[in-house]
């Protein structure tokens, strides 16, 4: 369900539909259906956002979700295609563990977390969903974890060592 959308001349955004939910309302003449779509948008280079769109049609709800996600984009520190350190994010009953991985590992993650990692441009990471596996909670916990990541320079200063093994993995 991945789509690539052109914005401007040089900026490409990757959007992924994580989950589409159908809700029905019973009325006198039958049932009325509405849809909500959870969408993740990223540039593949450290910027990613998520959004939820609701409408009477699936396509319209996806479009609304993409617009919300574009406005909610945040920066993520990516070092050599992975994250600088282990981090746990929490939202509600959902908890997400993100661990850096060596090149060639790939994205070891479930559907919702995988969409966020691919959109952010993180290519090597190991993740584990702890607690709730509700799509909303998992996405929000993943973004909480990404917000808790400290830049590489800050981690080096705090630990008093140089993390040269991560710098060697920089992608050209």
| Pick from 74, 73, 94, 87: nearest CA to 140 | 94
Same domain? For 53 and 63 the reply is yes
pLDDT given for residue 163 in this prediction: 66
pLDDT given for residue 137 in this prediction: 94
Q: Are strands 47-55 and 87-91 parallel, antiparallel or unpaired?
A: unpaired
pLDDT given for residue 159 in this prediction: 76
pLDDT given for residue 146 in this prediction: 94
Same domain? For 105 and 157 the reply is yes
pLDDT in tens, the chain (172 residues): 555 444 443 468 999 999 999 999 999 999 999 999 999 999 999 999 999 999 999 999 999 999 999 999 999 988 888 998 899 999 999 999 999 999 999 999 988 999 999 999 999 999 999 999 999 999 999 999 999 998 777 777 877 777 665 555 554 3
* Domain limit, last residue, from 22, 55, 74: 74
Same domain? For 118 and 99 the reply is yes
For residue 172, being part of any structural domain is answered with: no
Q: Are strands 125-131 and 107-108 parallel, antiparallel or unpaired?
A: parallel
Range of the domain at 38: 2-74
* Domain limit, last residue, from 74, 106, 126: 74
pLDDT given for residue 119 in this prediction: 94
pLDDT given for residue 96 in this prediction: 95
For residue 114, being part of any structural domain is answered with: yes
Same domain? For 126 and 141 the reply is yes
Same domain? For 86 and 44 the reply is no
| Pick from 144, 101, 110, 115: nearest CA to 129 | 110
pLDDT given for residue 157 in this prediction: 80
At 162, list the tokens. 């140089």
What domain count does the chain have? 2
- The answer to whether the beta carbons of residues 96 and 73 sit under 8 Å apart is no
This prediction has a pTM of 0.83
* Domain limit, last residue, from 52, 74, 96: 74
Same domain? For 146 and 156 the reply is yes
């Amino acid at each position: 369900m991945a789509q690539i959308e052109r914005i401007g001349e040089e900026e490409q955004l990757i959007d992924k539909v994580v989950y589409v939910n159908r809700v029905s309302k019973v009325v006198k003449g039958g049932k009325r259906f509405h849809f909500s779509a959870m969408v993740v948008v990223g540039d593949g280079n450290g910027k990613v956002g998520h959004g939820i769109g609701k409408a009477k049609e699936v396509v319209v709800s996806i479009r609304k979700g993409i617009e919300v996600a574009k406005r909610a984009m945040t920066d993520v520190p990516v070092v050599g295609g992975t994250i600088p350190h282990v981090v746990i994010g929490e939202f509600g009953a959902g908890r997400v563990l993100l661990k850096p991985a060596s090149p060639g590992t790939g994205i070891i993650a479930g559907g919702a977390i995988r969409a966020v990692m691919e959109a952010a441009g993180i290519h090597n990471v190991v993740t584990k969903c702890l607690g709730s596996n509700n799509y909303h909670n998992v996405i929000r916990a993943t973004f909480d974890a990404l917000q808790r990541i400290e830049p590489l320079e800050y981690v080096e200063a705090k630990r008093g060592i140089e993390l040269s093994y991560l710098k060697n993995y920089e992608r050209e």
